Chains A and B, each alone.
Chain A
């Protein structure tokens, strides 16, 4: 990866030097990302120490760490974090079980396997807005097909505060299980067949074969899927925002949106944004570590 063409060769000396081409190719991208991603974040770090309200003309006053202190003492925000944690647990857990299970089923000779795999992958390419909108129709207590198919009468999926989060998690599981399945399938198909043959010769049981061969060899890719989905579920905004507006489904990203764009508490919202940001960056760090590990294999 680090080898490069011999820059002293006569051909390389004509035209632009390798160094200037490298800079010409890389610097615009980095500059673009700094201007449109990093600079705004520095900007909002500044605001996180003020009581600025974007809806009023009152100049911002410096309040130090007050915003952070208020947020950490706010039960509402803690509730948002625990709702988010439950949501992550439910949806990622469901996706791993279903995704891994279907991958095990698909990892054999099946007619039209490619077709089934492609069809299963369609939901994850759809916009969460559209998915959320139509699952509202499916979940409808009076005419929804879910209640009809399951014979649940007029069970209130989305309007019952205790159930709504589970209903949203089910929709997320529908959308993203195929993602976990795709990664597990890649891991499963890479397991050398001779390992299973050797296990069969040794009369190893099914459970033994599964826990000692299948699971450890799929684990690296499964882990990547889990970390990525955890991060995405933690950031979830659109799906939950479209499907429900209850307090029991107010994920941290939704709280952030309301604080910033509905209550116009710009200063505190910047502070909350920073708390979320630090958590996301921590997960990203772990994710990249495992991605690199998978790539180097």
Chain B
């Protein structure tokens, strides 16, 4: 009986593993498709049937970073020979890179949008995590009248639909000239991430034994010193995890960026789909831009894997 049971168990287990492997593969198809499209020649991006095997090339990335026009006639062979390898790829397509008067290639809008995303996400993350850590410590270690109500209030600000907040914020920003500025977006993202940061950090700080600080206080540290020298180093992991979550949220945010920026401070999320509208869609260039945009998120997800559960439940569930 026991042997039969275990054989049956083994079969069930094998089947489960097979299903998990299959499901994971199917799950990753869209991500594989973005990646492979970025390395395809344009002619193979939208074929019937879909192209799976092809010779990968980086032309899409060159197109992503440059401004180009269609060429009339052929390129001068002398110019072609002198051009760097990446420019030749563009000439091969029958296009040329637009240059300014001193002969430098004009960059496309992508690098500046990417930079905007970086500026806004990093600044708002630093602000939200710094304020959140202090507040979390305050709630974790001291009595506060109506503590639960305050914590609910803080969390509820996170749940507000972005569009609801964006309408009055747009009017206020317009009045003080913060529409389409980095500062404007940084404030919004900080406010959006702050509540998350407080809740997550409170979970981490609650786990640090109070005895450490009590010992430090007995040794003559002030409360401030105890916080900076004992609690902060102890919560380094928590701070890192919180920062990564805040960064990803700000990095991915679309609604606020769409409504509050249009050019100067526009981040990558509203910019990437806007390429769809202009002329014939070049999916390879869009895929290249998307892939670079996804790269930081993929790396961070890998680093965060142990803290994901905590992060998605605002620190309530710790495994």
A contact set with B: CB distance below 8 Å: 1-5, 9, 11-12, 14-16, 18-19, 21-22, 24-26, 28-30, 32-33, 36-38, 40-41, 43-44, 47, 54, 102, 105-106, 108-111, 114, 116-123, 125-135, 137-138, 140, 142-143, 145, 148, 174, 179, 182-183, 186, 221, 224, 228, 231, 235, 237-238, 242, 253, 256-257, 260-261, 266, 269-270, 273, 276-277, 280-281, 283-285, 287-288, 291-292, 294-295
A3 pairs with B210, CB closer than 8 A: yes
A182 pairs with B194, CB closer than 8 A: no
A261-B259, A266-B171 known; A134-B30 Cβ under 8 A = yes
Q: Can you report 14 residue pairs joining A to B where beta carbons are below 8 Å apart?
A: A5-B214, A11-B218, A11-B220, A18-B142, A33-B194, A109-B13, A116-B21, A130-B272, A179-B312, A256-B164, A270-B168, A291-B314, A291-B316, A294-B313
The distance in angstroms between the C-alpha atoms of A73 and B50, with both chains bound, is 49
Stretch with Cβ within 8 A of A (4 or more), from B85-93, B99-107, B232-240, B299-307: B299-307
A148-B50, A257-B163 known; A127-B252 Cβ under 8 A = yes
B contact set with A: CB distance below 8 Å: 13, 16-17, 19-21, 23-24, 27-31, 33-34, 37, 46-50, 131-132, 134-135, 137-144, 148, 150, 152-157, 159-172, 174, 187-188, 190-191, 194-195, 198, 206, 210, 213-214, 217-225, 227, 248, 251-255, 259, 269-270, 272-273, 276, 283, 286-287, 290, 293-294, 297-298, 300-302, 305, 308-309, 312-314, 316-317, 319
Min CB–CB distance A178 → chain B (angstroms): 8
A105-B19, A108-B16 known; A145-B33 Cβ under 8 A = yes
Tell me the nearest residue of chain B to A13, going by C-beta: B222
From B24, B48, B191, B251, contact of A120 by CB (8 A)? B24
Query: Which residues of chain B are near A118, meaning CB under 8 Å?
Result: 301-302, 305
The distance in angstroms between the C-alpha atoms of A189 and B17, with both chains bound, is 17
Query: Which residues of chain A are near B225, meaning CB under 8 Å?
Result: 15
A119-B27, A137-B283 known; A4-B16 Cβ under 8 A = no
The distance in angstroms between the C-alpha atoms of A118 and B301, with both chains bound, is 8
The distance in angstroms between the C-alpha atoms of A221 and B218, with both chains bound, is 41
Query: Which residues of chain A are near B227, meaning CB under 8 Å?
Result: 21
Query: Which residues of chain A are near B308, meaning CB under 8 Å?
Result: 121, 182
B222 pairs with A14, CB closer than 8 A: yes
A21-B138, A142-B48 known; A182-B160 Cβ under 8 A = no
The distance in angstroms between the C-alpha atoms of A165 and B163, with both chains bound, is 21
B305 pairs with A182, CB closer than 8 A: no
A37 pairs with B218, CB closer than 8 A: no
B144 pairs with A26, CB closer than 8 A: yes
B16 pairs with A260, CB closer than 8 A: no
Q: Give the 8 A-B residue pairs with the shortest CB-CB distance, closest first.
A: A15-B222, A127-B252, A25-B138, A40-B168, A11-B217, A44-B168, A25-B134, A26-B138
A127 pairs with B293, CB closer than 8 A: yes
The distance in angstroms between the C-alpha atoms of A69 and B145, with both chains bound, is 40
Tell me the nearest residue of chain A to B162, going by C-beta: A237
A126 pairs with B161, CB closer than 8 A: no
A256 pairs with B163, CB closer than 8 A: yes
The distance in angstroms between the C-alpha atoms of A270 and B164, with both chains bound, is 8
Query: Which residues of chain A are near B316, meaning CB under 8 Å?
Result: 224, 291-292, 294-295
A140-B46, A284-B155 known; A277-B143 Cβ under 8 A = no
A183-B317, A295-B317 known; A129-B144 Cβ under 8 A = no
B30 pairs with A135, CB closer than 8 A: yes
Query: Which residues of chain B are near A231, meaning CB under 8 Å?
Result: 159
A36 pairs with B191, CB closer than 8 A: yes
Chain A interface secondary structure, helix, strand, loop or mixed? Answer: helix
A138 pairs with B30, CB closer than 8 A: yes
From A108, A174, A260, A269, contact of B30 by CB (8 A)? A174
B16 pairs with A15, CB closer than 8 A: no
The distance in angstroms between the C-alpha atoms of A256 and B162, with both chains bound, is 11
Min CB–CB distance B123 → chain A (angstroms): 14
A29 pairs with B217, CB closer than 8 A: no
A29 pairs with B49, CB closer than 8 A: no
The distance in angstroms between the C-alpha atoms of A179 and B161, with both chains bound, is 20
Query: Which residues of chain A are near B305, meaning CB under 8 Å?
Result: 114, 117-118, 121
The distance in angstroms between the C-alpha atoms of A228 and B188, with both chains bound, is 22
A37 pairs with B161, CB closer than 8 A: no
Min CB–CB distance A280 → chain B (angstroms): 6
B224 pairs with A130, CB closer than 8 A: no
Query: Which residues of chain B are near A123, meaning CB under 8 Å?
Result: 27, 30-31
The distance in angstroms between the C-alpha atoms of A14 and B144, with both chains bound, is 21
B251 pairs with A127, CB closer than 8 A: yes
From B165, B190, B269, B283, contact of A40 by CB (8 A)? B165
From B171, B214, B273, contact of A242 by CB (8 A)? B273
The distance in angstroms between the C-alpha atoms of A102 and B24, with both chains bound, is 10
A119-B27, A256-B163 known; A128-B254 Cβ under 8 A = yes
The distance in angstroms between the C-alpha atoms of A149 and B224, with both chains bound, is 62
B254 pairs with A238, CB closer than 8 A: yes
B224 pairs with A15, CB closer than 8 A: yes
A16 pairs with B224, CB closer than 8 A: yes
B273 pairs with A26, CB closer than 8 A: no
A36-B187, A137-B37 known; A105-B16 Cβ under 8 A = yes
The distance in angstroms between the C-alpha atoms of A128 and B162, with both chains bound, is 14
The distance in angstroms between the C-alpha atoms of A73 and B168, with both chains bound, is 24
From A29, A128, A134, contact of B131 by CB (8 A)? A29
B222 pairs with A122, CB closer than 8 A: no
